Structure 1
Amino acid sequence: MGMDLRTFLKQNYNKLMWKERIEIARYIIQAIYRIHNEDAIHRDLHSGNILYLGINQRFFISDLGFCGPVDKPLNSVYGNLPYIAPEVITGKKTTFASDIYSIGMLMWEISSGQPPFVNYEYNYDLAMKIVNGMRPKIVPGTPLEYKKLMEQCWDADSTKRPDAYTLGNEMKKLLLYFNNNQNESSEQIISNQHQQLNNYYSSNSIDSISKNYTSKTYQFENFPEPKNATEGSSNITLKHFITLKNMLTLVSFYLNKNTNRRTRRIWKLEINSNYNIQNNDYEKETVQQTKKHHLDINDDDDVYDNPSHSEKQDDSKISTGKIF
């Protein structure tokens, strides 16, 4: 019996070990590679159009070429918001790289058993958060290499995302590693998380879950350029640090200055009690010069790897009525 990935994960997540999760991700990546190899872009990848066929236990991508309603407004975006690449949200064209972003979100869904941003309303606020770098929280126990590939896929800079061929090869290596080095204790850690995720599902209504299947038209304006969350958060932290450092330096300077003034007043009184007032040289105060404080800060924020990425042109043909 066939079902989509969302339904499959809801019914079978407790039974899946990491080897099987990686296998599911690899099936999807192989399918998107075949689509891209035909110079086509899917444009609307999400767990509702990834189909599982129980006969051969394989996953396939459906709805290829479905680009939205005929009456879609100009400069609007059609899709399932959590899976739409940030550059597409801001008005840029869909590309092979925007499909890869959607793959990254699917990889997270496979790792967690739940749709991305399921507890958010699909509106302008969520779109702005995505453009500003918000991504789903990594599930504890996620293999490091899987995590790295997933983060590369959803990088805000589309040129840093791997192409489908590279991604498929890396996923194949990861699967081979798990086949040869299966660790029962690490898999037990995963099973211990299943009950927590089940509790999460039970606290969400059916309407909350079902909304993740639906693609619709969005129209956003005046969005900034996409960025990774670490870029913004690092800069804010840096500004706060510099401001605090400068404030402490200023307070320290004035405290020292006032202390020196009090000391000099006492010293002058002692001098005046022993000498004539005509010795004015002792009464001159020297002006203390403040030293400029320099802060040596490394501004490099290279959070993601930069894989070699050769992206084809945006103008790609659309094949319709196929399942890959």
Structure 2
Amino acid sequence: MIIEWVPYNNLQNIEYLTKGGISEIYTAVWIDGRYEEWDSKEQKLIRYGRQEVILKGLENVENANQRWFEEAESHLKISNKWPQIVQCFGLTQNPSNGNYMLVIDRADIDLRKYLQETQNQLSWKERIKIAHDITLALSIIHSESAIHRDLHSGNILYSKLNQRWYISDLGFCGPADKLTDSIYGNLPYIAPEVISGKNTTKKADIYSIGMLMWEISSGQPPFSYYENDYNLALNIINGMRPKVISGTPLKYENLMKQCWDADPSNRPDIDTLFDGIYSLLQYYQNISNEILQQETNNNLENNKIINNSMSKHINSTLFTSKIHKFKNLPEPKNAIEGMSRKFSKVFKKLNIKSNNDIQINYGKEIVEQQQIRQYNFNIDDEDETYDYKNFHSEEDNVFEIPDGKII
């Protein structure tokens, strides 16, 4: 695929669409369209013809360093090499203000809007297919030794023609001149170690996938009612995660929790995650349509209740990629680590003498959950949970359909 310069006068019907993060986004018609095929007789490339495209502004490119340009070029090549990534055809420049813009293939809808419009009609088979397409696309990005850095439901795009989900915005996340002591992204999807100031790695992308998996299950963005970025950042670092939606398949839940573990080394790599999602999709594809329809009907009312309760609280300003700058944040941890310290203080205050062997081997989880119910450590049971380590045995991971029901 050729990355080309698109003359601005070759674009028509340019209309403002929205503001995506710090970039203004427009729709347009590219008169000539992309290169489609090679005409061996005429010995020239044949163009597609009139084509709808997206124009995305690039901020402060003139101040970018050489590394930014090298990374941008590499990611452009990746996006045009693999069909699972939204294609970027090239660059153009608005002559009225001198701003550079990406010329990108246009999709039909993003994941956030799609879920909000269709959640009550989606079966688990359809939801897992979404997760499958996303993890497949990310596996390709990681195989090219690249990192996305800003995965969220606004840049997961759907093509009705191809019936496939794509990842977009690869390599152009944030301003070119972003300060080194700041981070850029959509806060609910940013990994805790990145929030606390560490470098972004592939495992940070995996954390974002965990948040997307939860959004696919619930139909709503995570932490949708938070008003304060700093409070949300601190809670994420301290182990707060969204509450698992009732009816979520156990295998899916386990993978999701592994993805959002506070310790990056505990998260699966993308190949392991993709294999898990793929096996789950295969399982659901072998289930009869009758059982799938029963499962969809059973979840319909539950999803309506979830969506109605969550939609009242959505803070649209939170779900925008932007620059964040947090100082003096603690090291990320899973909530069980922080809770254990709180419980030890409670035991001392109540003069509770516990047998360590009993606590470790017989009832640790039960004791801790009882203490959580008795003492309110700023946990809202209706909206978020301080996520515990996965206590399921290996036997729990086996797929079963007891009494014709899907779990």
Shorter-chain-normalised TM-score: which range? 0.7 to 0.9
Aligned with residue 303 of structure 1, among 383, 386, 389: 389
Structure 2 unmatched ranges of 5 or more: 1-106, 366-387, 392-407
Measured against aligned partners, the alpha-carbon deviations of 1:201-254 in whole angstroms (never above 9, x if no partner) come to 55246xx2x3354100011111111011122123312331244235xx8xxxxx
Instruction: Decide whether aligned partners of structure 1 residues 55 and 230 sit closer, same or farther in structure 2, where only a CA change above 3 A counts.
Output: same
Given the alignment of the two structures, is residue 192 of structure 1 paired with residue 301 of structure 2, yes or no? Answer: yes
Is residue 136 of structure 1 aligned with residue 242 of structure 2? yes
- Return the letter of the residue paired with 1:187: T
Deviation for aligned residue 1:193: 1.3
Structure 2 match to 1:228:
334
Number of the residue aligned with 1:74: 180
Alignment of structure 1 residues 91-110 onto 2, 5 Å? 91-110=197-216
Aligned to 1:116: 222
- CA-based RMSD of the aligned residues comes to 2.3
Query: What's the counterpart of residue 311 of structure 1?
Result: none
Distance 1:191 1:174 in 2: 21
Aligned to 1:151: 257
| Cα distance between partner residues in 2 of 1:234 and 1:24 | 37
Q: Secondary structure of the equivalent of 2:350?
A: helix
Q: 1:189 Cα deviation (Å)?
A: 2.6
Shift of the 181–235 alpha-carbon distance from structure 1 to 2, 3 Å rule, reads farther
Number of aligned residues: 258
1:239 aligns with 2:353: no
Over 3 Å counting, the alpha-carbon distance change for 1:136 and 1:202 in structure 2 is: closer
Q: Normalising by structure 2, what TM-score?
A: 0.59
- Equivalent residue, structure 1, for 2:99: none
| Shift, 1:62, TM fit | 0.3
Equivalents in 1 of 2:123, 2:174: separation in Å?
Answer: 36
Q: 1:12: how far off?
A: 1.2
Amino acid at match of 1:196: I
What is the CA–CA distance in structure 2 between the aligned matches of 1:138 and 1:63, rounded to whole Å?
Answer: 28
Aligned match of 2:283 in 177, 191, 198? 177
Matches within 5 A, 1:236-315: 236-245=342-351, 296=357, 297-298=359-360, 303-304=389-390
Do the aligned residues in 2 keep the contact of 1:47 with 1:213 (CA within 8 Å)?
Answer: no
- Pick from 106, 122, 125: which aligns with 1:19? 125
CA distance in 1 between partners of 2:135 and 2:110 (Å): 16
Match status 1:52 vs 2:158: yes
Larger helix share, 1 or 2: 1
SS at structure 1 position matched to 2:336: helix
Alignment partners' CA distance in 1, 2:298 and 2:174 = 41
Note closer, same or farther for the CA distance 1:234–1:215 as it changes in structure 2 (3 Å cut): same
Segments of 5+ residues of structure 1 without an aligned counterpart are 250-292, 306-324
TM-score by length of 1: 0.74
- Other-structure match for 1:317: none
Contact 1:86 1:130 in 2 (8 A): yes
Higher strand share: 2
Q: How far apart are residue 198 of structure 1 and its match?
A: 3.8
Which amino acid is 1:194 matched to? N
For 1:129, give the aligned amino acid.
Answer: N
